[in-house]
């Protein structure tokens, strides 16, 4: 049963969180707009178009990025104020246990964590699609290091026995100058194709191969056939061949799961970045709960330094958390650290920190 005490703390929690979120959003938008003023002018778009085509995606992106920090600062800010005014001492002196005092914090943290979980899976990726499409269209098109139209080569597995290779693929025209396909069973090749060029056929929704050399191999003989043109259904489309730097941010979690599964079937490498993103979408809501507990424990103790000391301690803990998160991500992307462990490692480490601080807190 939720009592007046719970509603009192939850009201402070929610209002302070909204205030922190709006304040940091205004600061983030002001800084971003000042840095990109010249780029916005070059686009030739009106202010309304920039807001709808860019900032409608940028603001949710910032919310998703800093959401745990918003919750953490909100908890420290209003709890520190309560401690400074001796409200917490009065609550505990009235016979309320320490764990009972923490209950509204956990309820509020759970509400925020559930909201972030759904937003990470569905809402924020859709907003990132708006932001990334704008950046790719107006900011990255003049940068040769971003989303280059010509990709040097691809090598992928089409199905359990079929492997394909593509050279010099042009994403604009959806053509490749070289293509080969091999079918291998029991470490023996039994079929292969070589084509001088390949192009996506928009009418038939498959690939058109030109100047094709087809070889069929069995244990006794080899059959070679020259084919001027051949249409083939392959297990990939032009969108799968475009190296999108923003792909992991744009896909909803079900779409990301499907994409990772397909890339694993194709034998693609370097999927740890996508897997870390997938697991982090579930780990970050747990971070909200963890930081809520740490913030309440840190700020619930009345100290001589007041709110300033609590905020300093909180910012230090947040910085260490972000640093550990970056380290684990780099070890997974660049090394062999399991992606699931990389996403959850900061939570695991700081769960021990939270437990230690909880045990040490005066009750």
pLDDT tens for residues 262-273? 888 777 777 888
Locate all alpha helices (DSSP H) within the chain, ordered by sequence. Answer: 4-35, 37-43, 47-50, 56-84, 87-93, 98-118, 124-134, 247-250, 253-265, 272-299, 306-334, 339-360
Q: What is the DSSP track for 131-154?
A: HHHHIIIIISTT-TTSS-SEEEEE
User: Rg for the chain (alpha carbons), in Å?
Assistant: 27
Sign of the alpha-carbon torsion through 301, 303, 308, 310: negative
Low-confidence residues of the chain: pLDDT under 50: 144, 147-149
State the burial class of residue 233 (Cβ atoms within 10 Å of its Cβ: 0-12, 13-18, 19+): exposed
Separation CA 350–CA 150 (nearest Å): 44
What whole-number percentage of the chain has pLDDT above 70?
94
Token pair in block for residue 156: 């992928």
Separation CA 344–CA 290 (nearest Å): 12
Return the bridge partners of 195, or none.
Answer: 179, 212
Pairing of strands 222-232, 162-170: unpaired
What's the confidence (pLDDT) of residue 148? 46
> Which residue, among 13, 139, 130, has the nearest Cα to 75 in the 3D structure?
13
Collapsed DSSP state (helix, strand, coil) of residue 280: helix
Question: Phi-psi region for residue 258, left (φ > 0), alpha (ψ -120 to 50) or beta?
Answer: alpha
What's the confidence (pLDDT) of residue 21? 93
CB 115 within 8 A of CB 225: no
State the burial class of residue 240 (Cβ atoms within 10 Å of its Cβ: 0-12, 13-18, 19+): middle
Separation CA 357–CA 98 (nearest Å): 13
Token pair in block for residue 266: 């194709």
In this structure, what are the phi and psi dihedrals at residue 202, rounded to the nearest 5 degrees?
-70, -25
221: Cβ–Cβ under 8 A, 6 or more apart, which residues?
A: none
pTM for the structure as a whole: 0.80
What's the confidence (pLDDT) of residue 23? 93
What's the confidence (pLDDT) of residue 121? 93
What's the confidence (pLDDT) of residue 316? 81
Q: Domain ranges in the chain?
A: 4-141+271-360, 150-243
Q: For the segment 294-350, what is each residue's pLDDT rounded down to a tens digit? A: 999 988 887 766 667 777 777 787 778 878 877 888 888 777 788 998 889 989 988
Class of domain 150-243: mainly beta
Separation CA 212–CA 201 (nearest Å): 16
């Amino acid at each position: 049963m939720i009592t007046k005490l719970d509603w009192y703390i939850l009201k402070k929690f929610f209002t302070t969180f909204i205030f922190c979120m709006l304040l940091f959003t205004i600061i983030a938008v002001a800084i971003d707009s000042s840095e990109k003023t010249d780029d916005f002018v070059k686009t030739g778009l009106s202010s309304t178009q920039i807001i709808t085509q860019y900032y409608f995606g940028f603001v949710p992106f910032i919310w998703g990025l800093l959401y745990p920090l918003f919750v953490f600062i909100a908890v420290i800010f209003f709890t520190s104020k309560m401690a400074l005014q001796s409200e917490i001492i009065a609550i505990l002196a009235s016979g309320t246990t320490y764990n009972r005092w923490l209950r509204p914090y956990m309820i509020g943290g759970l509400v925020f964590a559930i909201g972030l979980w759904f937003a990470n899976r569905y809402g924020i990726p859709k907003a990132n699609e708006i932001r990334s499409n704008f950046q790719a269209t107006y900011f990255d098109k003049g940068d040769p290091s971003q989303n280059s139209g010509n990709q040097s080569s691809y090598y992928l597995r089409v199905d359990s026995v079929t492997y394909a290779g593509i050279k010099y693929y042009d994403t604009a025209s959806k053509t490749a100058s070289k293509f080969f396909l091999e079918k291998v069973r029991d470490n023996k090749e039994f079929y292969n194709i070589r084509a001088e060029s390949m192009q996506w056929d928009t009418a038939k929704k498959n690939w058109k191969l030109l100047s094709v050399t087809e070889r069929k191999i069995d244990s006794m003989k080899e059959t070679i056939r020259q084919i001027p043109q051949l249409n083939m259904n392959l297990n990939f489309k032009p969108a799968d061949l475009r190296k999108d730097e923003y792909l992991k941010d744009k896909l909803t979690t079900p779409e990301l799961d499907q994409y990772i599964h397909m890339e694993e079937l194709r034998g693609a490498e370097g999927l740890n970045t996508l897997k870390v993103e997938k697991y982090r979408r579930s780990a970050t809501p747990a971070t909200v709960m963890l930081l809520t507990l740490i913030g309440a424990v840190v700020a619930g103790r009345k100290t001589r330094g007041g709110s300033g000391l609590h905020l300093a301690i909180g910012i230090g803990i947040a910085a260490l958390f972000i640093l550990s998160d970056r380290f684990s991500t780099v070890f997974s992307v660049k090394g062999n650290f399991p992606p699931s462990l990389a996403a959850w490692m900061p939570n695991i480490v700081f769960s021990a920190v939270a437990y230690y601080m909880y045990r040490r807190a005066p009750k």
